[in-house]
Chain A
Amino acid sequence: SSELTQDPAVSVALGQPARITCQGDSLRKYYASWFQQKPGRAPVLVIFGKNNRPSGIPDRFSVSSSGNSVSLTITGAQAEDEADYFCNSRDSSGKHLVFGGGTKLTVL
Chain B
Amino acid sequence: EMQLIESGGGLVQPGRSLRLSCAASGFTFDDYAMHWVRQAPGKGLEWVSGISWNSGITGYADSVKGRFTISRDNAKNSLYLQMDSLRVEDTALYYCAKDEGSYYGGAFDIWGQGTKVTVSS
Query: Are A45 and B109 in contact, with the CB atoms below 8 A?
Result: yes
Chain B positions within 8 Å of A, measured between CB atoms, are 35, 37, 44-47, 50, 59-62, 95, 100, 104-109, 111-114
A42 lies within 8 A of B104 (CB): no
Q: CA separation between A49 and B105, bound complex, in Å?
A: 9
Please tell me if A44 contacts chain B, counting CB pairs below 8 Å.
yes
Docked CA distance A88–B109 (Å): 13
- Is A49 a contact of B107 with CB atoms below 8 Å? yes
Which residue among B35, B37, B62 has the maximum number of chain A CB atoms within 10 Å of its CB? B37
Residues of B within 8 A of A30 (CB): 106
B112 near A43 with CB under 8 A, answer: no
22 contacts between A and B (CB under 8 A): A2-B44, A31-B105, A33-B108, A37-B45, A42-B95, A42-B111, A42-B112, A42-B113, A43-B95, A43-B111, A44-B111, A45-B109, A48-B105, A86-B44, A86-B45, A88-B45, A88-B47, A96-B60, A97-B47, A97-B50, A97-B59, A99-B44
Once bound together, how far apart are the Cα atoms of A42 and B49, in whole Å? Answer: 17
**Which residue of A is nearest B108, CB measured?**
A45
Q: Is A58 an interface residue (CB 8 A)?
A: no
**Known contacts A88-B47, A97-B47; can you find 18 more A-B pairs with CB under 8 A?**
A33-B108, A35-B108, A37-B45, A42-B114, A48-B100, A84-B44, A88-B45, A88-B108, A89-B106, A95-B59, A96-B60, A96-B61, A96-B62, A97-B35, A97-B59, A99-B37, A99-B44, A99-B46
- Compute how far the CA of A86 lies from the CA of B105 in the bound complex, rounded to whole angstroms: 15
Q: Which of B104, B111, B113, B114 meets A97, CB within 8 Å? A: B104
Does B106 lie within 8 Å of A97, measured CB to CB? yes
Complex interface: chain B residues within 8 A of A99 (CB): 37, 44-47
Instruction: Give the docked Cα–Cα distance between A100 and B111 (Å).
Output: 18
Determine the chain A residues whose CB is within 8 A of the CB of B111 once the complex forms.
Answer: 42-44
Contacts of B60 in A (CB 8 A): 96
